Every structure is written in C-alpha cells, then in structure tokens.
Structure 1
Amino acid sequence: MIEGLKIAGCASYSAEGQNLTELRKINFIYGANGSGKTSISRVIAAPADHPACAIRWANQRPLECLVYNADFVERNFRSSLPGIFTLGEHDAAVLNQIEQARKDVADIERDISARDIVLNGKDDAPGKLGERAALRENIENECWKLKNRHDADFQSAFAGVRGSKASFCDKILSEWASNQAAIHPLEDLKKRAAVIFEKGLTRESAVRVPDSAELTRLEALPILAKRVVGQGDVNIAGLIDRLGNSDWVKQGIGYFAQSTPQCPFCQQDVEADLAKRIGDYFDEAYDRDIADIGRLVAGYEAAGAAYLQSLADISQAGSRYIDADELTRLIERVTARLALNGQHIARKQKEPSAVVTLEDNTELFAEVRDFLTAANAAVAEHNGAVDDIGNQRANLTAEIWKYLLEEAKGVLDAYHTSKTAVDAAISGIESDLTTKRGDLTTAQQTLSDLEKGITSVQPTVNEINALLASFGFRGFKLATAGDQGNLYEIVRLDGSNAVRSLSEGERTFVTFLYFYHLIRGSVSESGITSNRVIVFDDPVSSLDSDILFIVSSLIKRVFELSHAQNSLIRQVFVFTHNIYFHKEVSFDPDRKRGLRAHETFWIVKKIDDVSTLESFDHNPIRTSYELLWSEVRNENRSNLTIQNTLRRILENYFKILGNMDKDKIIERFEGREKVICASLFSWVNDGSHSTHDDLYVSSDATTVGAYLGVFRRIFEETGHTQHYHMMMGTEAVPTADVAQMEITSPMPDNGQDAA
C-alpha cells in the first residue's frame, strides 16, 4: 500500500512539491480540470518517469499499480486490445490448488515483510540497519572529537581525511585493524611532528664543541700551589724568611737600584754589598718560577677568551636543538668562573710566595660539553631524518594514529562489540531473506503455472458485452481476435470494426469496463492473483448522468472487494472534477461525522498556476452549488477559474432552477457591465463545463473584480440580494426567508452527512 506521495517538479507542481501523507485504503481527491489530478495518477503509474517525485510504500514493498486515466484510454482504445485473462470454470481441486498457492505466496511475502521490518525498521523503530547506522554515526562523532583535539598538532598526519567525518572515521577503523606501530608519549610526537612535517625542511649544521683542555691544564699547574721565594743560605735570608716579606723585598729592589747608596725606605747609607746580597737571594730558580707565573696569567687569559668566544659564536648562530636560555646560563656561569680564577692567578703573580687555589671547573666544562654534545646528537638525528624524510614521515604518521587508537581504545572496543553483534544479526536476516525470496520465486512460479492452465480471455468478453447490453449500448460489442484469440476487438453487429465510429461517451465507457475487468484479471496468463493498487482518474468524463451512476456503482464494488479478506485490491484512489460523481461514489451510510478509519479526502487546487493539495478530516464536498459559492468566498481563489465558477452558479440558480430569461437580466445593465453580464450568460448558453473556456478578457485581478461586482448586481437587480448574502455569509438572513431561498444540488443527497 502507498503510505505517502510527493509530487514535485512536474506539470503545475513546484520544485518543492506537495505531499499526500497518511494515505489509507480508500482515497478521494477532488479538483477542477487542469488543477493537477492527472499528474498524481501519472506518478503512481510510472514513478521512474518522474525522478523529482517519490512514492513511500508500506514495508518498502511496491505493488502493481493499475491506473485508469486519459493515458490509459489513449493507450488501449485502438483497433485491438490485449485480452484480459481471468480464471474460468474448472475442476474445484485445481482452484483449491491455486488458492493454496496464493496463500503460500502470501505467507512467504509476510515472512519477507516481517524480516524486512526487523532489518529496515518501521515508523519509529530503526531496525538493524538503523542500529548499525546509529553506531556508525556515534563512532564518527567520537572520532571527530579526537580529530579536533589533535588537529592543530597533527594536520599533516591527518591530510586527506581532515574535511570529512566519514573519511576520518574510516581511517581510524582502518588503522585500528592494521596499525602495529609503537606507542610514544604525546609530547614526543608533537615535538617530532613540528620538525618532520615542516615544509622546506633542510639539514642542520652541528656545533663545534669548545675545547676546555688548555684551561683545565692551566688550572692544574703546580706553580699555583708553590711558594716562590729566594735562596735560604744568603745571610739576609733569615731576616726575609722571618719577616716573610720576600715579595715586598722583590718589589723594592727596583727602587733600591735607583737610591743607592741610600736605602729607598729609611734613606740611610747602607753597606756597599747589600744590593749584592739581596740579588743573591732572588736566584735563577726564582726567576723561572716568576716567568712560569707570567706565562700562566697570559695563557689562562687567552684560553678563557677563546673558550668564551666559541660559546658566544654558538649562541649567536643559534640552533633549533640548542636551548638558548640554557646556553646563556652556562655562558654566564663559565664567564664568572674564569673571571674568578683570573683574579686568583693575578694575585699569584703579584704575590709569588702565596699559595693560590683555583675554582675546579672540570664539572662545569663537562656540563657544557654534554649540553652541546646532546645538541649535536639531535642535529645528527634531524639530518638523518632529512636524509630519510619519506620513511620518517611514514613512521611518525603511523605512530600518531597509533596514539589516537590508544586514546580511543574504550570507544573503539565498545563499537566493535556492538557492531559485531548487529552485523551478525543483519547477516542472518539477509541470509534468511535470500532464502525466502528464492522460496517466493518458486511459489510464484507454481502459482503462475497453475493459473496458465485454467485462464481465459473469453469470460471477460462475455461479461463486458452483457454489461453493454444491459446499459443500452447495443450497437457494438467486444469480440475475441488474433491468431490465438487473446485479443479483443470492438465490432458492430455486422462484424465490422467500430473503433472509429464510437462517440466519446461510448469510447469512455467501454474503456472503463475494460479497465474494470482488468482489475480482477491480467493481460497475461499469469499474474492474475498479484496484489495491486487501483487508481480511477476522472472515469466519468463525457458520460451522461445515467452512466455516471453505473460507474460509481462499479467503483463502489471495487471498494467492497478491497475490504474482503485476502483481497488482491490493497488500495484505491479516486480522482474527479465532477461534484455529482464525487458525492455519489463517496457516499457511505455508516459515515456519521468525520472520516472513517479506511479513507482520506483531499482537494487539489491551482492558484497562480501552481497546484496545491489540502487534506480534510471530513468529506469536504457537500453539494456542487455550495462548493461553487465557497470558491467565490475564498480570498485565495484562482483568477483562471473564477469566471467559470460564477457562470456555473448563474446556470444552477437562474437557468436550471429559476428558468429566468437571461436577456431580461442583461437588459438591466449598461455599458461595460452589460458586456460582462452578457459574457457570463453567453457561457451559460454555450453549456460549457470546462475550466478553460474561451475567455473574452484576460484573467487579471482587475477583471476578476469587475466580474465579481457584476455577479453581485445580477442578484440585486433580480431581487435575490438576500440569497447572495446568505451564500456569501455577509449578512444575517431571517430563517423563514432562508427556507424559501435555499438552493440544493440537482442531484439527490441520499441522506449523506457531508460534515
């Protein structure tokens, strides 16, 4: 059964379209000619020809659709028609076999439908495929959160899947199944990614580690701990040693040479050999030691300056693998240590007899060396990565995805467990469906073979000819034709072909009878018992009132068949523009108020050349006369059809019921209003019942306003103002007057409660 229809992008329907929803077994659609009814029937007949439209089937199982519309008439009304096969008289046992085969097919179809519901879901129940889709949506969202957390650091590793949830999730699941990389800390991955994924990556230069060996050697010289003094066997030595002023004496020798024979300190004459004795005290060994101290001072200063300059050059050059702040701190410490030791050495030079102890810089120099050696190791690793950048990037990318997998391990494990269970259920259901569909094909073939054995086209000929005769169509009949008697011809009583000479009403009626019998048969020897949807689109066009009742009675019989148990007719649609026919075919004595559970009512309208659909919770069609007035009252009336609506009201009220002289009414008007009034009554005389009559003026808003004004004046000029106001709902009317003026449909109401 069809649960919903979307009609879009065809004929007068907009691209957004209109929807028929919550459709039921019996569906009535009323609309004027040209409003868009046939477009709906064409979509049902051939949905593939209307890609913008859509049909929603119950349980997603399409049924055979038999559609009676103008296309069906055009397609089938020709010199010969395909014969309609129906089940003929035959052995009861064979008929029982066919019935059992039908039940077998129905049972298998029910099994397929039940499994299909479990698989695909229904209404609010998602089904197993829906569960799997929900699992997929959830894991996609979780993976996307993971991506957003790490995207800033690992954009290059995520290249190609950063723009799509589905793609990123697919990558995660793929890596989950195959990634064997080692797990590394996040910070390590970030640090490496910043280098390896850098654009334009080049080799780095290693730094030259400054040599501290010379400084270390100088700092360990024994001269620093040696007391440098003169000879002890000189007679003046005892005094110098006792006073410990050899450094003072050494410095004073220069002054003594300038002041001889006087002492530079006491300014007294001294002995002539005093200068010799003092000179003997400071011998060659002493001079060598003093020279060693001098060289130590110069050498330490030069070695320290060279060492610091090397560090300064390294700092100035910079390197991504050298912590500039740490290097600065090391340089400051080395500078301070060297300066302090320089002061100690300077004191030794000034006081050679003093014992000087320098700061031990061995560990500091080792710290500098280790710091720079580590930087060079990082540079070497960097250069190795540059030389092997392809593999390095591949390895790092794998390690990044491995880290993500480890981070999402709980979510992925839960997804795997749930999906495994759902996949197993889906696999089992699909396997069962495959088996059941094979069983269905076999059962359908069995049914088809049984049907072929006892079907015939002759019973349909007999029934249609009997109906034609009973309804007064005695000038033609159906006859079998073709080499195998499986075609029909419409012939005169003398056997000549009657197709070209039939009237439009005869043509419509005989084609309808053909369709009516096709509902219970098939144009092939099999398929007679397939479930189907039946569509009647304007089946009473060009038929007189007697045939209208016959057609409505036959369609009601189809309604009854659709309610029968195990009926092949699962759903019926009736489209019409004829209010009398709509009222007759939709009559239901058991309908009190509102809709019955098995039916829907719709009206299709064309407003500003765009078709719209409106559903109702009751039968909206009461009488043709009242409906025509409701169209006049509607502010959203169609400019295209309103003039014809006014004409039909005047026809019902003044001509059919009132039998008034239209010429006398026209004479009450002057000028342009007289022309408009005459045009309205001219349509009445023409007897046109078409929406698109020959309009003598354009249907714009101004013209419509003029016609509505003249329409009202016609009632005023003829003394029927109160009737006008009653039907327009613009003025209260006394009850007694209403009783006298109320106009009902020319068709019998049959006691139908239209509300």
Structure 2
Amino acid sequence: LPLIDLLESMLFKNLAIISSKSKNPAISVELDNTDKRCTPINKLATQINETVSAIEDKANKVSEIKANIKTRMWNALKYQSQDILLLEKQANEQISKEMAVLDARLSRIKLIGQTVRNKINDLRLQTSNIDETIDRINDNLKYLGVTGFEIVKSNAPENNNFFMLSRGSNSSKEIFKSLSEGEKTLITFLYYIEQCNGSMSKDSEIPDSEKIIVIDDPISSLSQNYIYDIASLIQSKVIKGNRFKKVIILTHSLFFYHELLKLAPRNLDKFQAKYGLYLVSKNEYSQVSTLEPKELKNDYQSLWYILKDVVNSKTDPIILPNIMRNILEYYFGFVHRKDQLSDIINKLADNEPNQGFKSFYRYINRESHSDPTNIGFMMRVQPQIYLDRFRSVFVASDDVAHYECMMQ
C-alpha cells in the first residue's frame, strides 16, 4: 500500500539520521514525526478488525442461521401446500375408517368360517363319507378288468368309516397278502387317486389349490395292458382341470411316458403353458435337464440319447460299450443283417492295431444276454475314442447316414 511504503521511507530516513548522530554526537538532528502517517493505517486496521469480528460473529451463528432458514423454508412450503395437505389428511382419515370397517367384516367372516368348519367336523363324526369312494374304486377296478376282488365297507361297528378288501363272501385282513404285486400297486394307486380328489378322513380338507400331487412310477410292477388305463386315469382324475397346485409324475417307462404325452394338448403353446418335461441323469451326481416333447420317442432312440449323454459328460463312460452293443443289436436285428454285423465287427477287430480296442470290438460283438461273463477291458479313455470305432461299424455297413442322423 502507498501509506505503508511512505511510512517505510520515513523509517529508513530516521534510521539514517540516527546513524549519523551516533557517528557525530555533537551535531543536532531532528527526526520526522510518523504519528500523522500511522493514523490512516491504524484506521484501516481498525476497519479490518471490525470486518473480521463481524465474520466471526456470523460463523459462530451458522447453526442458528441454518435452523432459521430451515424453519422459514418449511413455513413457506406449508403455506403454499396447506390446502393439498389438508385434502390428503382428510383422504387418509377416510381410508382408515373404511379399513377399520373391512377389518371388522373380515374378523366376522373368519369367525363364521371357523364356526362352519367346526360344524362340518362335527357332522363328519356322525356320518360315513366313504360310500361314494368305495363305489368309485370298484367302478375303476371293473373298468380295468379286475373282477377277482373288490372294496367293501368294514363290518366292525367301531370301524364303520373304514373299508377292506373282499373276494366274494370272504373278507379278511389276509386277502391283501394273496394279491400279486401288480394288484397291490393297482389298488393302492386307485386309493391314492381318491385321496387326491377329496378328504377321506375326519380332518378338515386341504384345498385342491394347495395340494402338490406326486405319483412315482405307478406302472413299475403292472402289466403293460394297464399302462393306457393308468395314464387315462391320471389325466382325467388328476391333471385335467388344473385343480391342483402342482402334479409331479415320475417314471422309468417310455411307453407310459408317451401315453401321458398323447393325452396332453397337441398345441405347443398350450402344452408349454401347462406341462414341463425333465430327464434325470445319474452319474456321480444326479442332473436334471429339460426335454422337448419329441426328444424321447422309443427305447431305441433313448439308447442314442444315453450315448450322447456320455459324450456330453452327463453319464459315466463305463456304460458306453454296452449301450453301443445294444444299439447295434436293435438296428441290425431290425434290418435283418445280424450276420453281416458280426462279419463287419470281426473284420474291424482284426484290423485294429490297438490290442485294447480289439477287446472292445469282441465285446460289442457278443449279444447282450447270450454271454453272462464280464470282461475287464474297459480303460479310462475319452468317450470319443470309442465313438470313433463305433462309427466305423456304420461306415463299414454303408449306414453312416443313419449314425449321423441319430447323433444330431
């Protein structure tokens, strides 16, 4: 600042005068008076200090000022929105009153429902509800051509709400032991169907919409003659109408699998909306994969499917030679060329440079059930090595187009 520069020049001038006086004490000197020059600077310093004090005062009141601004802001918003807030408050109060009325009605309905359920249970204790069930099971037995036994009501007074098996005039607990495994499976299945479609106990019934129905291999010990009828019963009594939350059917039988599919909707969109098909592959761990309706067609095609599962590491390779042997038996037996197959395999075995794979050709040349002796030639190699030799059989018989088609 000019004032500071002027003050500095006066200071240096006074220092010089003092220095000359110290060198020559006899002389008389007079120093310049700096009071007048300091007055403007002191005034400026006072103004700066006042400004700083004002800023410090404001800094000390930041929290108070923020609170004041916040209060003024919300007051302004309230003033601008008070009509809308009043309407919202009135609407909420009205909704609360309506909800209270609905809650009261719901409580009354639940109380009435519980009273009705209790009354139904009391009536069930006084009446028998199995007559229609007995008639339906017996009708289904006749429909299936089973006339050797039937279901009758228990003749014990204390068990009048139960039923038992009967052969003509003979009704006893020993009859069940005289049934074949297929007949036991059949009567159990029909009983289970009735259980799915209604309560057969005195307890309150579970709604159909909450039931998950699981049917595990219902024709495993039945005659093939029953497969169509069992599939029809499942379709009409369990699947039809979408009454249940979910229906899960497990089976090892491709015949039964296809009978169920024949009864399903033909339209693909309707089928996919209602059905899901899955294949369980068991290796070190079980794997579940999805299926399309036409992926498994018959036993022969299922062998090719298993073959591809091995190639895709879904199934243990130990079964690979046996699957290949069965495929060759099916195919060349169907086209009546079994003798040619044997000649082709023997020729390939003779030309095979690897002794281990000579055993492979010998093995698949034996019919599946004609030789009970097992051989231990299986080595831990990549499935593709066996697949190449398997393909060579179809190449040698001019049937490679069939191989390529089935492996797609």
Q: Please tell me the TM-score bracket, short chain as reference.
A: 0.5 to 0.7
Match of 1:527 among 205, 214, 218: 205
Residue 558 in 1 paired to residue 265 in 2?
A: no
- What SS does the aligned partner of 2:189 have? helix
Amino acid at match of 1:557: S
**Which residue of the partner structure matches residue 539 of structure 1?**
218
1:439 aligns with 2:112: no
Distance in 2 between residues matched to 1:496 and 1:338, nearest whole Å: 135
Query: What is the rounded CA distance, in whole Å, between the counterparts of 1:423 and 1:613 in structure 2?
Result: 55
Q: Using the alignment, how far apart are the partners of 2:113 and 2:297 within structure 1?
A: 48
Give the structure 2 partner of residue 582 of structure 1. 257
**2:359 matches 1:672:** yes
Aligned-partner SS, 2:36:
coil
Q: Which residue type is aligned with residue 614 of structure 1?
A: T
2:192 is aligned, of 515, 521, 540, to 515
1:153-164 matched pairs, under 5 angstroms: none
Q: Which residue of 2 aligns with 1:496?
A: 173
Please name the residue that 2:404 is paired with.
728
| TM-score normalized by the length of structure 2 | 0.60
Q: In structure 2, what is the Cα distance between the partners aligned to 1:518 and 1:648?
A: 42
Partners of 1:601 and 1:619 within 8 A in 2? no
Report the more deviating stretch, 601-610 or 507-516: 601-610
How far apart in 2 are the matches of 1:491 and 1:576?
30
When residues 477 and 605 of structure 1 are mapped into structure 2, their CA distance, relative to the original with a 3 A threshold, is same
> Which of 111, 118, 136 is matched with 1:463 structurally?
136
Higher share in helix:
2
Structure 1 CA distance for aligned equivalents of residues 177 and 365 of structure 2: 38
Report if aligned partners of 1:552, 1:585 keep a CA contact under 8 Å in 2: yes
| Equivalent residues of 1:561, 1:569 under 8 A apart | no
Count of matched residue positions in the alignment of Structure 1 and Structure 2: 368
607 and 496 in structure 1: CA distance in 2 versus 1, 3 angstrom threshold: closer
Contiguous gaps of at least 5 residues in structure 1: 1-328, 386-391, 687-693, 732-755
1:554 to partner: Cα distance: 0.3
> Contact 1:602/1:615 (CA < 8 Å) preserved in 2?
yes
Cα distance in 2 for residues equivalent to 1:627 and 1:468 = 33
Cα separation, 2, equivalents of 1:402 and 1:621: 79
- The residue correspondences of 1:293-372 to structure 2 (distance < 5 A) are 332=4, 336=8, 339=11, 359=36, 361-362=38-39, 364-368=41-45
Q: CA deviation at 1:551?
A: 0.8
1:516, distance to aligned residue in structure 2 (A): 0.9
Per-residue CA deviation, residues 175-227 of structure 1 (Å, 9 max, x unaligned), is xxxxxxxxxxxxxxxxxxxxxxxxxxxxxxxxxxxxxxxxxxxxxxxxxxxxx
Shift of 1:581: 1.1
Alignment of 1:277-296 (within 5 A): none
**Per-residue Cα deviation, 1:547-597 (whole angstroms, up to 9, x for no partner):** 21221010121367416xxxx446544443422112111114972667547
Change (3 A) 1:512 1:377: same
Is the contact made by 1:491 and 1:499 (CA closer than 8 Å) also made in structure 2?
Answer: no
Higher relative contact order (CA 8 A, sep 6+): 1
Question: Quick one: which of 353, 357, 368 aligns to 1:681?
Answer: 368
- Partner amino acid, structure 2, of 1:681: S
Q: Give per-residue Cα distances to partners, 1:140-196, cap 9 Å, x unaligned.
A: xxxxxxxxxxxxxxxxxxxxxxxxxxxxxxxxxxxxxxxxxxxxxxxxxxxxxxxxx
| Mapping of residues 735-750 of structure 1, within 5 Å | none
Partner Cα distance (2:71, 2:359) in 1: 86
Cα–Cα, structure 1 residues 527 and 597, in superposed 2: closer, same or farther, change >3 Å? same
Contact persistence 2:329–2:367 (CA under 8 A) = no
Q: Percent identity?
A: 17
Counterpart of 1:527 in structure 2: which amino acid? E
Change (3 A) 1:358 1:530: closer
**C-alpha contact (below 8 Å) 2:345/2:365 kept by paired residues:** no
SS at match of 2:173: coil
Distance between the aligned counterparts of 2:119 and 2:199, measured in 1?
Answer: 14
Superposed counterparts of 1:225-304, under 5 Å: none
Paired letter, 1:673: F
Contact 2:165 2:171 in 1 (8 A): no
Query: Which 5+ residue runs of structure 2 have no aligned equivalent?
Result: 19-26, 350-357
Q: How does 1:60-209 map to 2 (within 5 A)?
A: none
Residue 599 of structure 1 corresponds to 274
Q: Is 1:629–1:727's contact at 8 Å kept on the other side of the alignment? A: no
Distance in 2 between the 1:549 and 1:370 partners?
109
- The alpha-carbon distance between structure 1 residues 462 and 627, as it changes in their structure 2 partners (threshold 3 A), is same
Q: 1:592 to 1:362 in 2, by over 3 A?
A: closer
Which residue matches 2:24? none
Q: How does 1:12-31 map to 2 (within 5 A)?
A: none
Q: Which secondary structure state, in structure 2, belongs to the residue aligned with residue 509 of structure 1?
A: helix
Q: Deviations for 1:381-440, whole angstroms, at most 9, x for unmatched residues? A: 99xx9xxxxxx9xx95x98799799999999999x98x9889997997798578548636
Q: TM-score, normalising length from structure 1?
A: 0.37
The answer on whether the counterparts of 1:562 and 1:570 sit within 8 Å (CA) in structure 2 is no
What CA distance in whole angstroms lies between the structure 2 residues aligned with 1:442 and 1:643? 68
Counterpart Cα distance in 1 of 2:371 and 2:107:
62
Shift of 1:339: 3.2
Question: Structure 1 residue 380: deviation in Å?
Answer: 11
